[in-house]
Amino acid sequence: MNIQEYISSGIVESYVLGLAEDSERTAFEQMCTLHAEVRAARDAFELSLEQQALSAAVAPPVTLRQNILQQLAAETVPESNSITPVVQMRPIRRSPVPMAMRYVAAAAVVLLVASAGLNIYYFNKYRDYSQRYDQLLAQQTELAKNNNAMQTRMGNYEQTIKGLTNPYMAKITMEGKDVPNNGSPDPRSLATVLWDTRSKDVYLMVNNLPMPETGKQYQLWAIVDNQPVDAGMLDMSYGHMMVKMKNIPRAQLFAITLEQRGGSSTPKGPMYVMGKV
Amino acid sequence: MGITLTYTEQELVSLLRNRDNKAFAYLYDNYASALYSIILQIVSDAELANDVLQEVFVNIWRRIEQYDMGKGRLFTWMMNIARNASIDTLRSKGYQNSRKNQSIEDNVDTLQVTDVLQPGVDTIGLRKVLEKLKAEQRILIELAYFKGYTHEEIAELEKIPLGTVKTRIRNALIQLRELLK
């Protein structure tokens, strides 16, 4: 059967008037989507039927209009519980969107969990590295400090050696036993003054002195024409190294006394060592 | 009516789906009479037709989502709602229960158009068009379209083969199309 025969078989009218059987209806709807001629024939018959119905219209009672429109205004939108093919279709048509959204949501949750896991992992790693960094920093600071101390000591030793090997440096040995009247509290005490004969700078090197009690400090004196002249305070922390003292242009003797911390203008404490120039 | 708004069918359907009161008023003003005419052709009783018209509009209101523009015009959809509601009402009321059915069954051979058609309604709508068909075709259309009988029921009622019922109805419909042109 070709399309024209199909169209003129009465199926169009049968379908439109609701007289077709289910199988015929399904087939006709298929034909409509496939063939524009079938659709056109259906439209034409529908239109003629509608025009006929409109021309044959019978007005219902006037009061009915008000009643019906009022009833419609009072109607509530039906829930999806009305059982009809089309209504049943709608959730199925809609379902791709929620399903897609569900996949997106699931993916989002997975990503969130993964991200949280990575956060914990990287935080731990960060904390570990941070600790290690702090340790390294402390070590580095320690090393730098040690290095500084070493350099200072090295510098001091270099200076001491320079002083000892300087041909213009006069060396005055001060001994405990040289203190008059055996007055030294510790006769084994020994210290050396190095005196630059050109610049007249005085350096002191402690060979053996008892550690002073707290609040006390050794003071170096130059005896010039029987008058003691302050030549500087002694810092024991330098040990046996050469420490620069004051500039003394002229002197006959050098001596060390133990004085109050900060020193005195004239010697008051006991003399530990003395040496002649 | 004065200034009447006109909508395309698509606009109208869209508004109806939003349960727009104005759109339903428009629908009523433009189609209620045509639908009322279809209802009257089936139930014939004016009181009953009023109830059915109300039911039809409520059904349109409730089921407008189910209307599929791809399967036909809005009026065709409403017309079928009106026809089905009318036939359902007729059956539930037992309106023509014993008497009419019996008259058909008992007098198949001698059944006259006037026996089947309700007095006063044979001059409106499709019925008026159907008057131009042969009697044997008119009776089948009457039973199938206006009474809602299946082809099998008609074959049984009329004591004619199912194939013949189908062919006669198809032929009647083909003629109907020509008559409506």
CATH number, domain at B161? 1.10.10.10
Q: How many helices (H) and strands (E) does chain B have?
A: 10, 0
- Residue A35 is assigned to a structural domain of this protein: yes
pLDDT of residue B94: 64
Same-domain pairing of A197 and A224? yes
What is the distance in angstroms between the Cα of B144 and the nearest Cα belonging to chain A?
7
Contacts of B63 in chain A (CB under 8 A): 78, 82, 84
**Sheet strands (E) in chain B:** none
Alpha-helical segments (H) within chain A: 3-6, 12-16, 22-34, 36-55, 62-74, 85-94, 96-165
pLDDT of residue B165: 92
List the structure tokens of B155: 């074959």
Which of B164, B36, B119 lies closest to A60 in space, CA to CA? B36
- Residue A54 is assigned to a structural domain of this protein: yes
Contacts of B25 in chain A (CB under 8 A): 69
Nearest to B125 among A9, A21, A53 (CB): A53
- Residue B3 is assigned to a structural domain of this protein: no
The C-alpha atoms of residue A179 and residue A41 are separated, in whole angstroms, by: 144
Interface of B with A in 23-52 (CB under 8 A): 24-25, 28-29, 31-38, 40, 46, 49-50
Same-domain pairing of A94 and A191? no
Same-domain pairing of A161 and A234? no
Same-domain pairing of A136 and A232? no
pLDDT of residue A31: 92
Q: For residue range A18-61, what is the model confidence (pLDDT) as tens digits?
A: 999 889 999 999 999 999 999 999 999 999 999 988 888 889 99
The C-alpha atoms of residue B158 and residue B104 are separated, in whole angstroms, by: 8
CATH code at position A227: 2.60.40
Q: What is the residue range of B173's domain?
A: 97-180
Whether B29 and B47 have beta carbons less than 8 Å apart is answered as no
- Residue A173 is assigned to a structural domain of this protein: yes
CATH code at position B14: 1.10.1740.10
- Residue A189 is assigned to a structural domain of this protein: yes
Q: How many helices (H) and strands (E) does chain A have?
A: 7, 8
Same-domain pairing of B63 and B135? no
- The distance in angstroms from the start CA to the end CA of chain B is 29
Same-domain pairing of A47 and A113? no
Longest CA–CA span in chain B (Å) reads: 55
Same-domain pairing of B19 and B83? yes
- How many Cβ pairs within 8 Å bridge chains A and B? 142
- Residue B2 is assigned to a structural domain of this protein: no
Same-domain pairing of B139 and B112? yes
Same-domain pairing of A147 and A173? no
- Residue B73 is assigned to a structural domain of this protein: yes
- CB-CB under 8 Å, A75 with B58: yes
Whether A193 and A204 have beta carbons less than 8 Å apart is answered as yes
DSSP state, B45? -
User: Rg of chain A over CA atoms, in angstroms?
Assistant: 59
Same-domain pairing of A55 and A104? no
- Residue A76 is assigned to a structural domain of this protein: no
Give the whole-number percent of chain A exceeding pLDDT 90: 42
- CB-CB under 8 Å, B181 with A48: yes
Whether B40 and B124 have beta carbons less than 8 Å apart is answered as yes
Same-domain pairing of A187 and A243? yes
Mark which of B72, B92, B112 sits at the end of a domain: B92
- Residue B111 is assigned to a structural domain of this protein: yes
Mark which of B92, B114, B134 sits at the end of a domain: B92
Number of compact structural domains in chain B: 2
- CB-CB under 8 Å, A58 with B36: yes
The C-alpha atoms of residue A109 and residue B30 are separated, in whole angstroms, by: 55
Same-domain pairing of B104 and B153? yes
Whether A200 and A185 have beta carbons less than 8 Å apart is answered as no
- Residue A112 is assigned to a structural domain of this protein: yes
CA nearest A32 in B: which residue? B71
Number of compact structural domains in chain A: 3
Same-domain pairing of B53 and B128? no
Buried b (16+ CB within 10 A) or exposed e, A119-141: eeeeeeeeeeeeeeeeeeeeeee
pLDDT of residue B31: 93
Contacts of B53 in chain A (CB under 8 A): 60, 64, 68
List the structure tokens of A106: 């699931």
What is the distance in angstroms between the Cα of A1 and the nearest Cα belonging to chain B?
16
The C-alpha atoms of residue A68 and residue A121 are separated, in whole angstroms, by: 69
Same-domain pairing of A178 and A256? yes
What's the half-sphere exposure (Cβ side, CA atoms, 13 Å) at A217? 15
Q: What average pLDDT is seen over chain A?
A: 86
- Residue A19 is assigned to a structural domain of this protein: yes
pLDDT of residue B106: 43
Mark which of A117, A138, A165 sits at the end of a domain: A165
Same-domain pairing of B174 and B103? yes
- CB-CB under 8 Å, B49 with A57: no
Q: What is the residue range of A158's domain?
A: 86-165
- Residue A75 is assigned to a structural domain of this protein: no
Mark which of A165, A185, A217 sits at the end of a domain: A165
Q: For residue range A137-155, what is the model confidence (pLDDT) as tens digits?
A: 999 999 999 999 899 888 8
How many residues can be counted in chain B? 181
Mark which of A110, A138, A165 sits at the end of a domain: A165
What is the distance in angstroms between the Cα of A118 and the nearest Cα belonging to chain B?
50
pLDDT tens for chain A, 277 residues long, are 688 899 989 999 999 999 998 899 999 999 999 999 999 999 999 999 999 888 888 899 999 999 999 988 888 766 554 444 443 344 444 455 677 888 888 999 999 999 999 999 999 999 999 999 999 999 999 999 999 989 988 888 888 888 888 888 888 999 998 888 888 888 889 999 999 888 898 999 888 888 888 889 999 999 999 899 999 998 877 767 888 889 999 899 999 999 998 888 889 889 999 999 8
- Residue B54 is assigned to a structural domain of this protein: yes
Q: What is the ipTM of this complex?
A: 0.82
pLDDT of residue B77: 95
The letter for the amino acid at B58 is: V
CA distances from A236 to A175, A210, A213, B105 (A): 17, 10, 12, 142
- CB-CB under 8 Å, A57 with B37: yes
Helix H or strand E encompassing B84: helix B74-92
Same-domain pairing of B121 and B76? no
Buried b (16+ CB within 10 A) or exposed e, A171-182: ebebbbebbeee
Residue numbers of chain B with a pLDDT score lower than 50? 1-3, 96-119
Interface test with B, best of A16, A32, A68 (most B CBs within 10 A): A68
- CB-CB under 8 Å, B73 with A47: yes
Contacts of A8 in chain B (CB under 8 A): 174
